[in-house]
Chain A
């Protein structure tokens, strides 16, 4: 209670206070945050294909829209493919390393992978004759956000793979045997037995991944500093800047961002947990 409830209540309370005077200002901090381009750039959003920055709120949503399906897909794919492979434990452990390493280290590794001179991605591009496309992927506004999102898939896929692997262990073999006797194809067996039986695992993966994406900070901080400009900024990074880079610290605005983030997280989590309970 002391370490969880009190900070939450205090943060919500601070979000209604003015930074300098500490006076109650109602929803002013929220209004100020939402009106900022770095939080939501409606002009750029209207011209979506013009490229980022769309503002931290939209960037967080893009994390969910792009990162989540890929993590679910690759996690499931790896779990299914590695189920009957000899020595799969070693492969799974290697993939799981992404989860074990600190996210800051993950961000540094990602930056190296995408580096113009030393990066493996550009090395591959050069090797296959696409030398003209070589660039420092994290420093351009049109590629910074998307490459950080895509590059982060490997970090979190280990988690979904392990959850799905555990889920696969729980599916009775009899179901597959019965399907085989009935002449069901592998594809049909996968869609009619494996996928439905993995629904609880999917809800766990989706819930945890979604929460991870909403509060994403470390990787963005290390790989792009939210830039260039605000092209890859996210809400947690914005909150950090308000709280610690502003003199004197603007805890009111930072708390307003934190509260918005918390409400979004709770909203998504509550919905998914209720789905999980029903299933």
Chain B
């Protein structure tokens, strides 16, 4: 009996105990919940976190000294805006082929691209892969020709001219000329004599260095002959195409005949990688080297004050090219890309680049005093009233003509016969006709 009571009492006690415990737990949960809500409600409003600025990506063809200068300029942009920029050096093929492939897949690694081919830019624009630049720049601040080259039929501007380059003529080492009693030629006959005199100097491999990548510097040299012997209008006509001038015309044949004669006389070296040719030129393996205004920034030039140039004797035109800024439609950071685009297009950024050398500003407000002595000399030479600045021929025509031009010139350089010359001109005419249609 006592045992039964005890068990009953325990059962009853156990029941009370459970109810009490459940109540305690419930009260605790409620208290915690209320405290939680109260804590949440009394929290100060969260401060908006400052968004981290993105790192922009820029593609260009520049390497070596040109790239170093550009990186310095980009450093100023980062200081001013807090936006970092990474620059990637692309080869001609990478840029010419790789970028359109990316854009046609509606994607882009680069935020801003720098390229010197107006025909290529307009093609990409016509396919709808670029952001319009009309409202990003003040077009009147740039030479009309530079803007027109990247303006479409609807007057929309698709790129901004950033850097202008000139191809003033043949570069030489002042001390080499002085030591060997050489003088700058003023006529084509004197130019040929100079080549013969340089060839006769001990230690010289050839009179003229021939640079190559995929045929490019050879095209600049050839254009100097076209304008020097045929006049600037001949080059402009060849750019227009077979409707204006055929590659098989007598005038063109005469120019190429003269060039072929000098090539056959072994005055020009075999084509070799263009920067290694600068080293050999500076080591006096060659006497002269036809190159653009960027020559003054090349690290292979030991002492820029010993460097000078002379124009193709009697020429009335020089080749000029412009490096344009474009923004892909699929740029990962379009707003910041526009900011960089506008900054680089402005006079301040260009003044920095001009001060670093080998760079001609395109913006009207870049002061002439910003140029180095040698750059100023080049600028003065190409700005003469008797000199017309004509677009780079193969850059202006673009497309498959450009690669054909390069490949055919490489052939002419190593096989300078009349037969080869005729074949070369036939091939160029065939491609020009194909491209025009």
Interface residues of chain A, those whose CB is within 8 Å of chain B, are 37, 116-117, 135-136, 139-141, 225-231, 241-242, 244-249
Contact = CB atoms under 8 A, between A and B. Distances in A.
14 contacts: A116-B272, A135-B270, A136-B270, A227-B215, A228-B407, A228-B414, A229-B407, A229-B410, A229-B423, A242-B400, A244-B100, A245-B403, A247-B398, A248-B123
Determine chain B's interface SS by DSSP, over half rule. helix
Given A116-B272, A247-B120, A226 B407 contact: yes
B365 interface: no
A135 B403 CA distance: 24
Contacts of A248: 123, 127
A248 B399 CA distance: 8
B31 interface: no
B307 interface: no
B400 A230 contact: no
Contact of A229 (B399, B427, B430): B427
B414 A241 contact: no
Interface string B412-437: 01110000000110010010000000
A228 B399 contact: no
Contacts, number: 64
Nearest to B423: A229
Contacts of B424: 229
Given A116-B270, A247-B398, A140 B407 contact: no
Contacts of B272: 116-117, 136
Nearest to A53: B411
A171 to B, nearest CB: 48
Nearest to A116: B270
Determine chain A's interface SS by DSSP, over half rule. loop
B370 interface: no
Contact of A247 (B119, B270, B413): B119
B408 A229 contact: yes
Nearest to B424: A229
A230 B410 CA distance: 10
Contacts of A230: 407, 427
B149 to A, nearest CB: 15
Given A228-B410, A229-B423, 9 more contacts: A37-B430, A116-B272, A135-B270, A136-B270, A139-B270, A141-B411, A228-B407, A229-B408, A229-B411
Contact of B427 (A37, A117, A249): A37
A189 to B, nearest CB: 50
Contacts of B100: 244, 249
A113 to B, nearest CB: 16
A244 B411 contact: no
Nearest to B398: A247
A236 to B, nearest CB: 15
B251 interface: no
Interface in B268-284: 270-272
B96 interface: yes
B218 to A, nearest CB: 10
B236 interface: no
B399 A139 contact: no
